[in-house]
Amino acid sequence: MSDRPVFIYAATYADRAAAIEDYDNLIDLHEAKLVGTYDVAVISKDSEGKVHVEKHEKPTQHGAWTGAAVGALVGIVFPPAILGTALVGAAAGGGIGHAMGGMSRSDAKELGDYLDTGQAALVVIGKSRLQEQLDKALTHAEKTQEKEINADGKELAKELNARLVLEGAEDNPFLARFYEDPDKYALPVQLYFLLTRYNQQRELAQQDLFAQATVADYLFSKDRIFAALNLAPDELALYDNVYRLLDAQMPRPDLVVYIRANVEVLIERLRKRNRDFERHISVQYLERVSAAFRDFFFYYDDAPLLVVDTTELDFVADSEDLKDLIREIDGAGKGIQYFVPRKS
């Protein structure tokens, strides 16, 4: 048995609507941290008897549900002939499918037969026993069942971790020249960043059911902050025409983390990073950038915002600082919240 066993809780329903109602109830429990889950999704059958998995909506929490582990489970317990197209191959393949592969044949058959009795089902893959809590909360279910399986919980948690998306500033061919001659290269450097980030975000928005939760090291509207600082008025007017068209198509984040520090700390971090093109950045320019970000986030209300002062926090070098930051992200709610640690 794995040192971190996996528990599968399954509830069957007469129809998909009833399953989704209980799914919504489960979101409340998840956000209140009353249940510990790896993944949750609704399973339903279409008019042709094909089985489909849907996540319905994603809670705005660190480690949010993706439907991928439930998809892998479905790929194991149901024969390929009745799986929806998106599930064939994708569901039972990859690292998540391997993590779920600790389920015995008898367990898989029993669960498959159980889920096959209803027109829809809600499946919860949990970190601990869930049945007592969930039987009280999920009131629309016709039948419920919980089973512990010999799967690798550590591997499953790793596979469900968030995908990292980086802006790749070093790839901008105009950036080094911009720091040497800002007036000449401000417009091409900003347009390159704008179009590159747009294409990257559009690709993410088109990901299917099995896409991971995503962490990006930039906000799309960040580009507009730099454009306002660096472009001449006629260039900014041209840039804004393009920006407005693209920004209207961008997905909004579930949470924005604004990481700030005083200018002296920022200078030291740039020195440690030691990028050739950043050696031309002046203290005056860094002060202007810092002030522009502060002003932007003072009025920001497009998504929940966590403001983190890292003047005395170094989560790159200190694992305890990183744990503190992750704890704050885990607990972030709606509106604006602040994390200002002091070690003195």
Average pLDDT, the chain: 74
Q: Measured between alpha carbons, how far is 273 from 255 in angstroms, rounded to an integer?
A: 27
Q: Is the pLDDT of residue 139 over 50?
A: yes
Q: CB–CB of 77/58 below 8 Å? A: no
Residue 187: C-alpha distances to residues 148, 192, 235, 236 (Å) = 58, 9, 7, 8
Write the CB contacts of 113 (distance below 8 Å, at least 6 apart in sequence). Answer: none
Average pLDDT of 59-77?
A: 50
The confidence score (pLDDT) of residue 5 equals 57
pLDDT at 3 over 70: no
> Comparing 336 with 315, which gets the higher pLDDT?
336
Q: Are 308 and 337 in contact (CB under 8 A)?
A: no
In three-state secondary structure terms, 227 is helix
Higher pLDDT, 58 or 135: 135
Rounded Cα distance between 304 and 299, Å, is 12
> How many residues in the chain?
344
Residue pLDDT, tens place only, 267-312? 888 888 777 778 778 889 899 999 999 999 988 988 999 998 988 8
Domain ranges of the chain: 6-159, 163-339
Structure tokens at 39: 């993944």
Q: Residue 236 — φ and ψ, nearest 5°? A: -65, -35
Provide the edge-to-edge strand list for the sheet that holds 37-45.
51-54, 37-45, 120-126, 6-13, 143-149
For residues 161 and 138, what is the distance between their CA atoms, to the nearest angstrom? 27
The pLDDT of residue 327: 81
222 — alpha (psi -120 to 50), left (phi > 0) or beta? alpha
Which residues are within 8 A (CB) of 298 and not within 5 positions of it... i.e. 6 or more apart?
Answer: none
**pLDDT tens per residue, range 179-233:** 888 899 999 999 999 999 898 888 777 664 345 567 788 888 889 999 999 999 9
Residue 221 or 124, more confident? 221
The letter for the amino acid at 73 is L
Beta strand spans in 183-233 (E)? 214-216
Cα separation, 342 vs 313, whole angstroms: 8
* The residue to which tokens 């966590």 are assigned: 306
pTM: 0.52
Q: What is the DSSP string of 83-101?
A: B-GGGTTTTT-HHHHHHHT
State how far the Cα of 142 lies from the Cα of 120, in Å rounded to an integer. 10
Using pLDDT thresholds of 50, 70 and 90, give the confidence band for residue 143. Answer: confident
pLDDT of residue 60: 37
Could you identify the residue written with the tokens 């591997």? 155
Question: Six-digit token pair at 234?
Answer: 């006629």
Instruction: Transcribe 145-163 into DSSP letters.
Output: EEEEE---HHHHHHHTSPE
Token look-up 């790793």 returns 158
pLDDT tens-digit map of 231-260? 999 999 999 999 999 998 888 888 898 989
CATH class of the domain comprising 163-339: alpha beta
Going by pLDDT thresholds of 50, 70 and 90, the confidence category of residue 161 is low
